[in-house]
Amino acid sequence: MFVTVILSIACVLLLCYIFSLKSQIRTVTREIGRTSEYSYNRLVTISLFDNDLSALVTALNREIDSRKHMKIRIAKTEDSFKRAISDIAHDLRTPLSVVKGELQLVSNGRDCDDDISHYIDVCISKTDELKYMTDSFFELALLESDSEKAKLQRINITNLIMKFIAKNEGHI
């Protein structure tokens, strides 16, 4: 009889411990959910009576902190990359303008035979295309940098395709 009472008390204590542990696990789960809602800028802060559960929460907090630092590094890397793209695009524009200007000077300053004049015109045309692509690249870099909002406008794709075909008719 005495053993039965002791076993009953032990079972009741064990059940209370298990229910308390389950309650704390639910609390930890809620806290993790709240932490993810706040984009990992918040650690799980609760006091626990179980050492193993406390160790788990500590490990989770280290992981949350690690992810927060990783997100910061990724954002800095993306900003650096966007700045580099913008700088490259800007640095390409100047030499292209100089090359085009020099080609125009050569074209206007001399009497060239038709073949040379044709090649100079082709070079000027290709320089214009490169300048256009570089300008587009620069605009894309600006849009990616979030420094300017994109100005959306409607375009007539049929006219755009027709212009492209007319321009490249002899080259295709």
**Contact predicate 109/68, CB 8 Å:** no
Cβ-contact 157, 115 below 8 angstroms: no
pLDDT at 59 over 60: yes
pLDDT value at position 73?
Answer: 92
Higher pLDDT, 9 or 151: 9
In the prediction, which pLDDT does 56 show? Answer: 81
On whether the pTM is more than 0.85, the answer is no
Measured in whole angstroms, the distance separating CA 141 from the mean position of its chain's CA atoms is 12
The mean predicted confidence, pLDDT, of the chain is 80
pLDDT > 90 fraction of the chain, expressed in percent and rounded: 1
Q: By mean pLDDT, which of 65-69, 86-90, 130-134, 142-146 is the weakest?
A: 142-146
Q: pLDDT by residue (tens digit) across 79-132?
A: 888 788 778 877 887 888 888 888 888 777 666 777 788 888 888 888 888 888
Q: Is the pLDDT of residue 47 over 80?
A: no
The CA-based dihedral angle spanning residues 133, 137, 138, 143, taken in that order and rounded to the nearest 10 degrees: 140
